[in-house]
Amino acid sequence: MKNMSPIIPVSDPNCQVKSWKNLLKSAIKDPIQLLSEIGLEPTDLNFPIAENTGFAVRVPQPFIDKMQLGNPQDPLLLQVLSQQAENLAVAGYTNDPLEEHASSAPGILHKYHGRVLLMLASACAVNCRYCFRRHFPYQDKVASGKQLQQSIDYISEHQEISEVILSGGDPLMVSDSQLSLLLSQLNQIPHLKRLRIHTRLPVVIPQRITQELCNILATSHLNVSMVLHINHANEIDELFTSSVKKLRDSGIQLFNQSVLLKDINDNVSVLAQLSEQLFAAYIVPYYIHLLDKVAGAAHFDIPKAQAIELVEALRNRLPGYLVPRLAIEEPGEKAKTIIA
Ligand X SMILES: *Cc1c(COP(=O)(O)O)cnc(C)c1O
Enumerate binding residues for ligand SF4 (CB under 6 A): 124, 126-128, 131, 133, 170, 200, 229
Question: Would you count residue 198 as binding ligand X (CB under 6 A)?
Answer: yes
Contact 42, 32 (CB under 8 A): yes
Question: Would you count residue 325 as binding ligand X (CB under 6 A)?
Answer: no
CB nearer to ligand SF4: pick between 132 and 154:
132
d(CA 259, CA 287): 8
Shortest CB 55 distance to ligand X, Å: 18
Candidates 112-120, 147-155, 232-240, 273-281 — which segment interacts with ligand X by CB under 6 A? 112-120
Residue 128 interacting entry, from ligand SF4, ligand X, none, C-beta within 5 to 8 Å by type: ligand SF4
Which residues of 87-211 form beta strands (DSSP E)? 108-112, 115-119, 163-167, 194-199
Q: Is the peptide bond before 169 cis (omega within 30 degrees of 0)?
A: yes
Q: Residue 150: how many CB atoms within 10 A of its CB?
A: 14
Contact 93, 142 (CB under 8 A): no
DSSP state letter for 300: G
Shortest CB 126 distance to ligand SF4, Å: 6
d(CA 62, CA 206): 8
Binding residue for ligand X (CB under 6 A) from 115, 194, 262, 325?
115
CB nearer to ligand SF4: pick between 72 and 171:
171
Shortest CB 316 distance to ligand SF4, Å: 29
Q: What phi and psi values does residue 165 have, to the nearest 5 degrees?
A: -110, 115
Question: Would you count residue 293 as binding ligand X (CB under 6 A)?
Answer: no
Q: Residue 216's closest CA among 174, 257, 256, 255? A: 174
Shortest CB 98 distance to ligand SF4, Å: 12
Question: Would you count residue 110 as binding ligand X (CB under 6 A)?
Answer: no
d(CA 85, CA 324): 29
* Binding to ligand X in span 143-172, by CB under 6 A: 165, 167
Shortest CB 142 distance to ligand SF4, Å: 13
Candidates 84-92, 110-118, 277-285, 316-324 — which segment interacts with ligand X by CB under 6 A? 110-118
d(CA 233, CA 235): 5
Question: N- to C-terminal Cα distance for the chain?
Answer: 69
Can you give the binding site for ligand X, defined by CB under 6 A? 112, 115, 117, 165, 167, 198, 335-336
